[in-house]
Amino acid sequence: MSQRSHAWVLHVDLDQFIAAVEVLRHPELAGRPVIVGGRGDPTERAVVSTASYEAREFGVGSGMPLRIAARKVPDAVILPVDHVAYNEASDAVMATLRAQPGAVVQVLGWDEAFVGVQTDDPEEYARALQRAVLERTRLHCSVGIGDTLVRAKVATGFGKPQGVFRLTAENWLEVMGDRPTIDLWGVGSKISRRLAAIGISTVAELAAASPDDDGLVAEFGPRMGPWYAQLGRGDGARVVDDTPWVARGHSRETTYQQNLTEPAQIEAAVRTLADQVLADVAAEGRPVVGLALKVRYAPFITKTFTKKVTETFDRDEVLARVMELVGRIEPDRPVRLLGLRAEMRMPEESREGHTPTRSGW
């Protein structure tokens, strides 16, 4: 395959994004362990949103309870989450990416995006992109280069921090073959265990499976089985799509500093979440088609209850269905977290049913 005039996929991932934004706002924190989470108070119930590399060296990671992170790094600086600041920084980064010559940008989140580009030298393009982001935002990023979205995404991990790495069909198995399947984008701990149970532990073993492998199809079904085989080879979409992302749903959740123990407390808390979620949904102008209620019982057992809803704009109808879900909460069990999500009908022109890893959009 000629490298000239090739449509490359670049995956841009900002290094320790939230922590880096905070260090820019507080230069005196440079080089110190910084943890961002909740309201910045480790005595409250909250989790780590991000940690600087200095804090990660002590085993602190995203999603860890803030109180445990504080124990691991007693001298860490713990800061509250500031969504406004992170949105502003992210917007500046994405605008910089879109300003690059010939770039097609598909935003994945606050701190990452795919960039599609036609270039003879993807490494040089990636380094120029890094310089542009640093000059405009003072933030560093890593760039993965690939001939598919999957390979570009996985490549970024080898480039961190502040580096560039290329993964293509030519070196995929050389780099990834001996690695466990959990190292693949789209494979978590549960899926990796299920793969191991049918004799597939490494990326190479998954790559060797045929799309209609009986074990994969039996375990994951006729759609997901072949997809996992494809993922093992790093195959999939090769074109970056900048079609605006459309939310499938809106959700809100709250961790309560004191457990909710009374049914009236729980119902009132869910109604508050419903008010917030339905306000978000109303702004979209699309009907609700499904609901999910997340409940975390004390000390830390999480359950999710779901319900399909006949397509409706009727707020009272949705609230009635939400209350049916509330009825599934186990009585006499203290509740420490509640979350509510409302799914909406997707527009006809949306990329419904796909994710960046599942054969593109």
**Active centre residues (catalytic):** 112
User: Checking phi first, is residue 353 left (phi over 0); if not, alpha (psi -120 to 50) or beta?
Assistant: left
Amino acid letter, 265: Q
CB 119 within 8 A of CB 4: no
C-alpha distances in angstroms, 67 versus 18, 38, 47, 354? 19, 11, 8, 37
Instruction: List, in order, residues 6 or more apart from 205 with CB less than 8 Å away.
Output: 181, 199, 232
Query: Which letter does DSSP use for residue 219 in this model?
Result: H
Residue 27 DSSP label:
G
* Nearest in space to 133 (alpha carbons), one of 164, 100, 85: 100
Residue whose tokens read 């003879």 = 120
Q: Report the alpha-carbon distance of residue 354 to residue 319 in Å, rounded.
A: 29
- DSSP conformation class of 183: G
